[in-house]
Amino acid sequence: MKSIHLKQFLLASLVIQVFSISCSDQLEIDLPEHPSIGVINSILSTDVPVSVTLTCSRPYPSNADTSSAISNAEVKIYKDGVYMEDLTFQRYHVGNKVYRDYLSHDNLVPEIGHQYNVKVIAQGFPEMAAETTIPEPVPIISVDTLTDQIQFGSQSTEAWEFNIRFQDPPAKGNYYRLLIDRAAYNEDLGVGPMGLIHVRVGFISNDLNLVYFERARDSFYFLNMDNDIEDALKPDVFLSDETFNGQEYLLKLYVPKYLFLDIAFPPVPGTKFDMRKLYFKLYSVNEEFYSYASSYFAQRYKVNDIFSEPIQVRSNIKNGSGIFTGSSVSVDSSIAVPVRYSPLLK
Amino acid sequence: MMKISSIIIGLFLFGISLYSQNFTLSGFVEDSQTGERLIGAYIYDSLTYNSSQTNTYGFFSIICKAGQVDLICRNLGYSKIHLRLSLSADTNILVRLSPLVYSLSEVLINNNRNILENPGISTVILPVTTIKGIPLVLGEADIIKSLQYMPGVQAGTEGTTGFYVRGGGPDQNLILLDGVPVYNADHLFGFISIFNPDAIKNVIFITGGFPARYGGRLSSVLDIQMKEGNYKKFHGEAGLGIASSKIYLEGPLIKDKSSFLVSARRSWIDIFTKTFFKEKDLPSYYFYDVTGKLNFKLSDRNILYFSIYTGKDNITGIKTESSITNESIRDEIKQDQYSGWGNITTSLRWNYSIKNNLFLNTSLNYSRYYYYDYKSFERTLTNLISDFKITNYYKSDFSSGLEDIGIKSDFDYHPAMNHHLKFGLSFFSHTISPYARIYSVNPGTDTTFNTKTVVSQLTMEPSLYFEDEMQFNKTSINSGIRVSSFLVNGQLYFGVEPRLIATYAIKNNLSDKVAYTRMTQYLLLLSSSRITFPADLWVSATDSVKPQVSNQMAAGVSWNCNSDLFEISIEGYFKSMSELIEYKDGSSFLNSGYWQNQVTKGGSGRAYGLELLLKKNSGKINGWISYTLAKSERKFDEINSGNWFPYKYDRRHDLNLFLDYKFGKMIDMGITWEYTSGSMYTLVTDVYDSYLGTGPLYDVQYFENRNNYRLPAFHHLDFCLSFNRKKKSSERIWSLNIYNVYNRKNVFFLYYDTYSTESDGEKIILKKFTLFPIIPSLSYSIKF
C-alpha cells in the first residue's frame, strides 16, 4: 500500500514537472522610432579608381533583405585636405548583379602615403565624414608550393601546401589581408558573362594569428570529431603584426585539391594553365580595416550565442557606420593544378 | 579618506576616555528548551539604561554600577525576563529565555522598545520562520530567494538564487556559513540555494553599513549561522518535496554539555526519470548536501564547535554506446559526458570568555568550490575480415575551482558602559585554479597527443580590523577600520577601509542613520553578463588586474510606530566602484584560453537609489512591502566606445510584497508579489550591408549602446498554504505552493527565430523564452 502511495506521489510530480515545461512566445516590442543610419563602405586601393558605396541601415528584425542605396547624396573626396571631386552615383551590372556606387568620373586612383577624406551630405542624414591613409605595400618575397596530405578530424584530404613569405616593416601596427584568386570558366554558374572570370579560392590554415569569418554555431556545443572541411575553408583572412613585428613572416596555408576537380571548370585549350593559376594577393591595410573586419567576424560567429553580449562592429565613420579605408596590394602567383589534373575526371 | 580615518580614530579615543571603574556583568543567553545560544538578544539595566546585545556566539557583557541591578533580557520570539541582582563584583551569568508558546506572527509587541535596538543601517535580520513561510518555486524554502524580496536586492535570472545588491555584481556578495566563505551557493543551476533552512539559526544580511569585521566583497554580506543542535533532547524532521527530500536530526551527545546536528537533502529528479522513462542514455541530474555540527561546552568559558557542509550537483549528459556492422566493417562509437560542481566547508571554532568583558572567537576554516566537466568520444573501426582495427578518440577533462584555508581570531571587549570594542585578524590562503584541462587526442595513428594545461595560483590575504561601538544618550556610533592586503605573483596590494555607521534617536521611536563604507575585493567571479552559471570562473587580482574598490554612502530614517506594530524605514545610497572587470565583447565562459586575455579591465560602476520598507511585525496579518528606485551603470574603455551604459540588472523600480495570514493555529497562508522593471538587454535595432559580404547572412548588426533596451516588466504572484497538525509526539505539515498564480510569461531570454507564411514568405521575429509558467507543488514534512 505504501508503495502505491509513493508511486501516486511520483506520478503527480511528473504531471507537475511536465506542466512546468518552459515555453516560448513571440515578443511584441514597442521600440522607439529611430532614424536610419547612413553607411559608407569604401576600400581605396592603388589599382582601382575611387568608389564609395552608400547605403542606409534597415530596421531589424525586418523582412527586407535588399540593400537600401542612397542615390541622391553629395559624396566629396579630398586628398591631403584638398578637394578633388564629387563622386557620381551610378547603377551598373556585373553579370546579373546590380551595383549602385558613387564612382570617380576623373578615374581618380589613390596614391600610396596620401591621406584621403570623404564627406557625405545626404537628405535625412547628418553629414558623414571619414579619413584614411593609403599604406605602403609589403611585397611577397616568395610562394613555395608543396603537395601534402592534411588531416581534419577523422578525415584526411589531399591539398597543396603554400608557404608565403613576406617581411614585416619595423614599425609596429602593420596589418594585412590575404586573398587568393583564380581564373575560372564561367559556364555553369549562370551569373555574369560567359568566359573567364576571377573567383575567390578558399584555403585552410592553422596559423593562430589569422582573423577570419567562422560560421556561427549554437551556444551549446556538442562533441564532434568530424570537422567539416567546408567550415575550415577561409576565403578572406586578416592578420596583425603584433606577434612578429619587424620579422620575416611565413604564412602556411593549404588549398584542397578537390576544389579543382569540379566539372564546371574544364580546361580550355590555350588557357588551361591560366585557369589553374592561383593569385596570392597580400594587402597592406590600416588598423581601422583590421578592427572592422575582426569585430565583424566575431559578431557573425557569436550571433547565436545567448551567453555573450552582441559585438559592436568597429567603424571609422563619423555620424554613420561602415568603413572607409585604404589598402595597397602585392601579388604573386603559383601554378597549382597540373600535378593531379586529369581531363578524364570530366 | 585621511580625514575620515582621522575622525574614526578620534571617535575611538573619545570612547576610551569614557572608561570608569564599574562591575562587569557578562555571560551567555540561551534557549531554555534547546540550550542553543541566542544571537542578538538585547540586555539592559532598567535603572541605568546601560545596554548590550549578544554577539554571534550568544555572549554579552554589560558594565553596571555596584549595587542593585534590574536586568531585562529579551529576544524576538522569546518571553522577556527580569533579573534582579546585587552586584558587588564582576559576575558571570547564564540567561535562559523561554520561547513564546504562540507563533511569532501572532503577538510580538514590545512597548518602550528603544529605536537603537533596530538593526543598523542597511541591515536585515531575517528569522528562519519567516523564510519558511515565503512561497517559492517548487515549494523549496530558500534563504537567498527570500532576501530577494528585500529592498535594494535584485534577483538575477528568474527563479535563481543569484542576487545583485545595490547595483553590484553577483560576486560582490560575501556569503558566510558559520563564518566560512561560500563561493557558489547554487543547487539545480541556482533554482535552490545550498542552505537547508532546517539547519539554520540566524541570517544577517547587510547591504550598506558594513562593520569593519566584514570585508572582501563590495556589495553585501550574508552571514548565516547554523544551529548548534539541541542540548536537551533528541529532535528531528523529515520532508518530501518536488525537488528534493530531506532529513534533519539534532540532539544531545551529553546532556547540556555537548550536542550534534545533521541535516541532509537529495534531489530525486534522476530517480524519478529512471523510474518513469524507459529510454536509456537520458541525461540525468542530482544534487545532495549534508550539513553537520558538533558542539562541546568544555567549561563555562570554553566552547568548541566543529561544523561541516558538503554538497554536490552532478549532471550526466550524453552517455552512449553504439555499434553498426556492415558486411566487413564494424563501426563502434562510445561517448561520455558529465559535469558538476560542489562545495566543501569546514570550521573548527573555539569560543573563550577570557575575562568577563573580553571574549575570543578563534576559528580554523576550510572552504573549497570546484567545477568539473568531462567529455570523451571514441570510435573504433574494425575490418572483420583482416581483424585490423583503427581507433581514434578524444578526451577532455576540465576543472576549475578555488580552495581557501584560513585562520581568524575575533575579540569582543567591553571596556566601559555602552562602549564595545571588536578587533581581530585573519589570514587566508586562496588557491585559485580557473583552468585545468587534460586533453588527449588520438587521431587513429600510433601517436597520441596529450596536453595538460593547469593554471593555478596561490595567493595570501591577511587582514586586521578594529571596530569601536559606542552608545551615549541618543546616539550610537560604530566606527572602525579594516586593513587588508593581498599577495599575488610577488605583487602586494593593500586596502585601507574606513567604516562609519551612526544612528541618532530623534525620538524614542524615530531615528536617522548614516553610513560610509569603503570595501576592497581581491577575488572576482568572471561571469557572462547575460547569465550566471556554475561554470563561471573564480579568479583573483593579479599583477595586471587590480583589486576592486567601492565607496558607499547611505543615509536613512527608521520609525517604529503604533507600539512597534509597524516599522518603516527609508534609505538612500550612492555607491561608486572601480577596477571592475568584464568579459570583452563576444567572450564568455564557452571560450577557452587564458582568462586575462578575454576580459576588459579598469571598469567603473556607479549606483544610486532610494529604498522603502514598510513592515508589520505582529497580528494575524503580518509581512512587509518594499520598494526600490535605483539606477546602476558601468563604464569600460573597450565597451560601448568608452561611454557609460546601463548595467544589465539596472532595474528602475522594484516592488515586493509579502503577507502572512493565520487562520487559527493550523492553517497558515503566505502570499508574495514581486514587480520589477525588466532587465536591460542589448537589442539589435538595425542591419546594414557589410563590405565583406552581401546578403542577410553577412549583414552587420547595429545597436547604438550596450543594454539599449529594457525588457518587459517582470512580475509574479505566489501563494503558499500550510496545514499544521500537531500530535502528541510529532507535528505534520502539508504545504501547497503555487508559483506564478496568474501565469505571467516573464522573459527568461530573447532570441530571433524565423517563420514562414504563404503571404509574406519567411519572416524574422523576436521571441521570448519563458521559464516558469504557473507551477503548483506540494510538500510534506514531519517533525518529531
- For residues B6-21, average pLDDT: 48
B interface test, pick of A6, A20, A191 with most B CB neighbours within 10 Å? A20
Of A57, A301, A323, the CB nearest to B691: A323
Length in residues, chain B = 784
Among residues B672, B213, B120, B673, the alpha carbon closest in space to that of B465 is found at B213
Among residues A324, A343, A198, A164, the alpha carbon closest in space to that of A263 is found at A343
Compute and round to an integer the Cα radius of gyration of chain B.
28
Of A11-20, B56-65, B348-357, highest mean pLDDT = B348-357
Q: How far apart are CA A99 and CA B38, in angstroms?
A: 81
By C-alpha distance, the chain B residue nearest A53 is B691
The answer to whether residue B757 neighbours chain A at the CB level (below 8 Å) is no
- For residues A62-82, average pLDDT: 83
C-alpha cell at A189: 554558374
pLDDT tens, residue by residue, B72-81: 898 877 888 8
Average pLDDT, chain B: 83
C-alpha cell at B585: 565583447
pLDDT for residue A19: 43
Of B682, B687, B767, the CB nearest to A60: B687
By C-alpha distance, the chain B residue nearest A217 is B590
pLDDT tens, residue by residue, B609-627: 999 999 887 788 888 999 9
Query: A313 versus A222: which is more confidently predicted?
Result: A313
**Percentage of chain B exceeding pLDDT 70:** 87
pLDDT tens, residue by residue, B581-611: 887 776 655 555 567 777 888 999 999 999 9
| In chain A, domain spans | 38-133, 140-345
C-alpha cell at B584: 570583452
- For residues A15-25, average pLDDT: 52
The answer to whether residue B709 neighbours chain A at the CB level (below 8 Å) is yes
By C-alpha distance, the chain B residue nearest A221 is B590
Q: How far apart are CA B290 and CA A104, in angstroms?
A: 77
pLDDT tens, residue by residue, B406-436: 999 999 998 887 888 999 999 999 998 887 7
Residues of chain B numbered 622-651 and touching chain A (CB < 8 Å):
640-641
Residue A303 has pLDDT above 80, yes or no: no
Q: How far apart are CA B362 and CA B421, in angstroms?
A: 16
**Percentage of chain B exceeding pLDDT 90:** 29
Residues of chain B numbered 441-460 and touching chain A (CB < 8 Å):
443-444
Q: How many CA atoms lie within 13 A of B193 on its CB side?
A: 25
Q: How far apart are CA B199 and CA B236, in angstroms?
A: 11
- Give the residues across from B67 on adjacent strands: B87
A214 burial (CB, 10 Å; 0-12 / 13-18 / 19+) is middle
pLDDT tens, residue by residue, A236-245: 899 999 889 9
Element (H, E) at B492: strand B491-507
Measured in whole angstroms, the distance separating CA A167 from the mean position of its chain's CA atoms is: 24
- For residues A128-134, average pLDDT: 96
Q: How far apart are CA B62 and CA B50, in angstroms?
A: 7
Among residues B422, B495, B423, the alpha carbon closest in space to that of B1 is found at B495
Residue by residue, DSSP assigns B419-485 as: EEEEEEEEEEEEEEEEEEEEEEEE-SSS--EEEEEEEEEEEEEEEEEEEEEEEETTEEEEEEEEEEE
Residue A223 pLDDT grade (very low, low, confident, very high; cuts 50, 70, 90):
very low
pLDDT for residue A112: 93
Residue B724 pLDDT grade (very low, low, confident, very high; cuts 50, 70, 90):
confident
Residue B452 pLDDT grade (very low, low, confident, very high; cuts 50, 70, 90):
confident
Question: Nearest C-alpha of chain B: how many angstroms from A269?
Answer: 34
B interface test, pick of A26, A41, A60 with most B CB neighbours within 10 Å? A60
Question: Nearest C-alpha of chain B: how many angstroms from A342?
Answer: 31
Q: Could you tell me the fold of the domain covering A38-133?
A: Immunoglobulin-like (2.60.40)
Residue B378 pLDDT grade (very low, low, confident, very high; cuts 50, 70, 90):
confident
C-beta separation of B397 from B438 below 8 A:
yes
Least confident piece of the model among A38-52, A308-322, A330-344, B602-616? A330-344
Among residues B346, B336, B545, B341, the alpha carbon closest in space to that of B459 is found at B545
- For residues B763-774, average pLDDT: 76
- For residues B237-260, average pLDDT: 89
Question: B702 and A57 in contact by Cβ < 8 A?
Answer: yes
C-alpha cell at B159: 527563479
pLDDT for residue B110: 44
C-beta separation of B220 from B162 below 8 A:
no
Q: How far apart are CA B647 and CA B559, in angstroms?
A: 32
Residue A335 has pLDDT above 70, yes or no: no
Q: How far apart are CA B501 and CA B469, in angstroms?
A: 9
pLDDT for residue B135: 65
Residue B15 has pLDDT above 60, yes or no: no
Of A23, A303, A307, the CB nearest to B773: A23
Q: Across chain A, which distance is largest between two alpha carbons, in Å? A: 96
Residue A62 pLDDT grade (very low, low, confident, very high; cuts 50, 70, 90):
low
Among residues B615, B725, B735, the alpha carbon closest in space to that of B670 is found at B735
pLDDT tens, residue by residue, B85-127: 888 888 888 899 988 765 444 434 444 456 566 667 888 888 7
Among residues B406, B429, B402, B413, the alpha carbon closest in space to that of B349 is found at B406
Least confident piece of the model among A96-110, A301-315, B304-318, B522-536? B522-536
Q: How far apart are CA B466 and CA B423, in angstroms?
A: 4
By C-alpha distance, the chain A residue nearest B695 is A65
pLDDT for residue A11: 44
Domains and CATH numbers, chain B: 2-100 (2.60.40.1120), 123-678+713-783 (2.40.170.20)
Tell me the one-letter amino acid at B179: G
> Can you list the alpha helix ranges (DSSP code H) found in B244-352?
269-276
Tell me the one-letter amino acid at A190: G
Residue A25 pLDDT grade (very low, low, confident, very high; cuts 50, 70, 90):
low
Q: List phi, psi (to 5°) of A9.
A: -65, -45
Element (H, E) at B237: strand B235-240
Three-state SS for B120?
coil
Residue A201 pLDDT grade (very low, low, confident, very high; cuts 50, 70, 90):
confident
Packing angle, helices A2-19 and B269-276, rounded to 10: 100
Question: Nearest C-alpha of chain B: how many angstroms from A166?
Answer: 24
Least confident piece of the model among A266-270, B125-129, B207-211, B284-288? A266-270
Length in residues, chain A = 346
pLDDT for residue B293: 94
Three-state SS for A63?
coil
- Give the residues across from B295 on adjacent strands: B259, B305
In this structure, the number of other CB atoms found within 10 A of the CB of residue A35 comes to: 11
Q: How far apart are CA B429 and CA B459, in angstroms?
A: 6
Among residues A344, A285, A341, A291, the alpha carbon closest in space to that of A313 is found at A291
Measured in whole angstroms, the distance separating CA B274 from the mean position of its chain's CA atoms is: 33
